[in-house]
């Protein structure tokens, strides 16, 4: 099967099946690594603890994007 035919067939699938195809392809490009996933989960849990305890100050996404725009504006 050539690439064009494969894409045409994939596009004709119901949305849930297309999502499954996309997920499978992405995982084949970047396979999950349990150890790294566990480390990221530990980091996320620690950050949540810090946020809930008030030991860190949060910054809104809008503020971050505004700062990036200002920094790189021509």
Question: Model confidence over 28-68: pLDDT tens digits?
Answer: 998 889 999 999 999 999 999 999 999 999 999 999 999 99
Q: Beta-carbon neighbour count of residue 34 at 10 Å?
A: 7
Write down the pTM of the prediction: 0.53
Dihedral sign, CA of 59, 65, 67, 68? positive
Q: Roughly what angle, to the nearest 10 degrees, separates helices 3-11 and 15-29?
A: 140
pLDDT of residue 30: 87
Q: Is 56 helix (H, G, I), strand (E, B) or coil?
A: coil
How much is the pLDDT for 32? 84
- Helix (H) and strand (E) counts for the chain? 4, 0
C-alpha 1/C-alpha 7 separation (Å) is: 10
pLDDT on residue 58: 95
pLDDT digits (tens, 9 = 90+) for 5-22: 999 999 999 999 999 999
């Amino acid at each position: 099967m050539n690439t064009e035919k494969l894409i045409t067939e994939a596009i004709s699938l119901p949305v849930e099946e297309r999502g499954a195809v996309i997920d499978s392809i992405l995982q084949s490009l970047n396979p999950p690594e349990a150890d790294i996933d566990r480390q990221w989960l530990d980091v996320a849990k620690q950050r949540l603890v810090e946020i809930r305890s008030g030991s860190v100050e949060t910054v809104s996404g809008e503020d971050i994007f505004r700062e990036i725009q200002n920094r790189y504006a021509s």
